[in-house]
Amino acid sequence: MTSHNNNSEFIPLGSRPIDRAGHHRSDEAWLSAAYQRDDVLILVVQKGLPLITAKGGLVWLGPEAAKAAPDARRLFMGLDKNGTPVFAIDVGDGFDLETSLIAGLGEFADFRMAMSRMSELELNLASTARSIFEWHKSHRFCAKCGTESEMQEAGWKRVCPSCETQHFPRTDPVAIMLATRGDKCLLGRQSFWPAGMWSCLAGFIEPGETLEQGAAREIHEESGVICRADKAEYLFCQPWPFPSSLMIGMLLPAESDEITIDETELEAARWITRAEARDVLAGKHPEIMAPMSFAVAHHILKEWAERPDGS
193 and 114 co-located in one domain: no
* Pair 209, 276 in one domain: yes
Q: Are residues 91 and 147 in the same domain?
A: no
Asked if residue 177 and residue 299 are part of one domain, the reply reads yes
**pLDDT band for position 3 (50/70/90)?**
very low
Kindly report the CATH number assigned to the domain that includes residue 159.
2.20.70
| Percent with pLDDT over 70 in the chain | 98
- Residues 120 and 48 occupy one common structural domain: yes
Q: What is the pLDDT of residues 118-128, one digit of tens each?
A: 999 999 999 99
> What domain count does the chain have?
3
Are 144 and 132 within one domain? no
- Which alpha helices (H) appear in 170-264, and where do they start and end? 211-223
Judged against a pLDDT cut of 70, whether residue 206 lies above it is answered with yes
The number of beta carbons lying within 10 Å of the beta carbon of residue 51 is: 23
Domain extent, residue 163, equals 140-169
| Domain-located, residue 311 | no
**Where are the strands (E) in 132-223, listed by range?**
150-152, 157-159, 166-167, 172-181, 184-189, 201-204
Residues 148, 124 within the same domain: no
Reported as a single tens digit per residue, the pLDDT across 215-232 is 999 999 999 999 999 999
